[in-house]
Amino acid sequence: MLLATGLAGTGDVLLSGSIRRCPVWRASSAGISLTLWGGRQDPRVLLEQYRRHGMVMGATVAGPFACLLVDHRDSSIHLVRDRFGFAPLFYRVIGQTLFCSNSLREIGALSPRPALDAIGLARYYLFRFVVPPLTLLQGVFQVPAGHSARFEQGSVEFHECSPFPVGNRNHRGHEGIADAVEAAVGESIAHATAPAVALSGGLDSAVIYASLPPREADAFALVSRDHRENLAAAESVCRGAGKCLQRIAFGAEDFRLLPEFVEALDEPVCVAPLFYLFLLLRGASGKADVMLLGEGGDELFLGYRHQIALVETFIRAGLSGTPASALRQSSMARRWRQVQDILRQSIHGEDLECVTDCLPHEPECAGINQFLDTLVCQEMTCFPYFYAGVRLGEWFGLDVRCPLLHPRVVAAAFSISWEAFLFPEARQGVTKLPLRQAFRQRLPPEILASPKRGFGEEWTGYRRFAGIQNEQACTAFARLREHGISAEPPSTSAGDEYQDFLWHNLFLGLWLDSMASS
């Protein structure tokens, strides 16, 4: 069901409907009514925050939530989303009626059905998901994470809450990080009856597990025949806590669950590790009530090698006077040429600048630190890793939480200078030095010294869709052709580029197929 707000001639607002697969809470007082979903907040507390802070209330509230506020005092409607976008919030204006939902497929099923949005489609192929506020559907939008939207007389105005402490990096050590993480983990399991941790064998999830009291939580890991190295690291962490690792087997046949994964995620996102997370949560369903993830560590503590290269490049550019925005645009030029080949029948005059106008602009009166902080904030609020985990957990009845995104941990990470991350080992993938230093007494050597590996990189052999290409890809590609999207790979693609093309089209085609049946 949808929440529909009808503006009558008197300015009255009528609410109808509910929110898909999610409990809803309501509160009202002194001419203001609030409808809340997607989190554990008290609606009366949020109502008071709006009363005090107005449209910037999202910056004052920690944790996931999305809400619709009706202010009868001026006949305005406000949509507010939490700072990380854990709770989905889509909307569509038809005439003088605002429809909002936590389901893109549901809001896209309203008559008249919208066509595909060309820029949204280009963003999907360029970024592997659609960067807000656009969606893949014309006239259907999403409130960006950490934003509020004011709806009045048929128009929408966005307001950014800016909840991150940008531009204040003056510490070079790791002081306070371990205490912040431990407090965040403790708060995350405070009311859990069966807490658990998803262990990947990497640093971030090991840090979460090491911050728990001994024997406090079970640990789950997704394993396959090609996953031995990460499995050994995860088992080492569990032995240190006196627990046994619970293994969830994974094989090529599990790719038959891709349609269910697309339905659970409810929007097209071509990020393969999220499918592996889906399988892990599926295997843990019924065995835990709260699942802790290590998401956020790479973004906060500069864990990706491409981030290290980007920071180095932008610092050099700042010293030489080269605009950082120009470097960013040029780095996407090659990828954009591939996208144009794929979308040669669907893009009509759109250019790279138009598609990437969602990226942060270079600050005019600030140093390179603030620009890099802005990039990190965008990566944390626009990219799907965080909200997708929460959404997939809801599908299986699990309360998924990310302690590294607690305000205390974020504040500690944003106080560390960029130079503290740029040590020689980072080029070989041994990144996140402050986090490693903070937990060097709690983690085994194989975790502390291990380089960063993308979750699922060991399973590239399964990416050829063995056993399912004829079964699922044909249906998905047929849906693409119905929308004028070529299902044939670009003539210039080869190797990894060809695999990327298959992944993009498979996820998109399966989502379009689910849309057709809704």
- The reply to whether the predicted model has a pTM over 0.85 is yes
Run of H or E including 246: strand 245-249
Cα–Cα distance for residue pair 335/384, rounded to 1 Å: 20
Cα–Cα distance for residue pair 411/165, rounded to 1 Å: 7
User: Which domains does the chain show, CATH number per domain?
Assistant: 3-160 (3.60.20.10), 177-302+385-461 (3.40.50.620), 465-516 (no CATH)
pLDDT at 8: 42
**Residues counted in the chain:** 518
pLDDT in tens, the chain (518 residues): 467 676 544 445 666 666 667 788 889 988 898 988 887 788 998 898 888 888 777 777 777 889 998 888 887 888 999 888 888 899 988 877 888 888 898 888 888 999 999 899 989 988 889 988 999 999 999 998 888 888 876 677 887 766 677 667 888 888 889 999 999 999 999 889 999 999 888 899 999 999 998 778 899 998 875 556 667 788 888 887 778 889 998 877 788 898 999 999 888 898 878 888 999 999 999 999 999 999 989 888 888 777 777 777 777 766 666 665 666 666 677 778 777 776 665 555 568 888 888 876 665 555 667 777 877 877 777 777 778 888 899 899 999 999 999 989 998 998 988 888 877 666 666 788 889 999 998 888 888 877 766 555 444 444 555 555 556 777 888 888 888 887 776 665 556 666 777 788 889 999 999 888 87
Run of H or E including 275: helix 272-284
pLDDT at 307: 73
Alpha helix (H) residue ranges in 383-495:
385-395, 407-413, 433-438, 445-448, 474-482
Q: Which amino acid is at 10?
A: T
What's the burial of 25, exposed, middle or buried (CB within 10 Å: 0-12/13-18/19+)?
Answer: middle
pLDDT at 461: 46
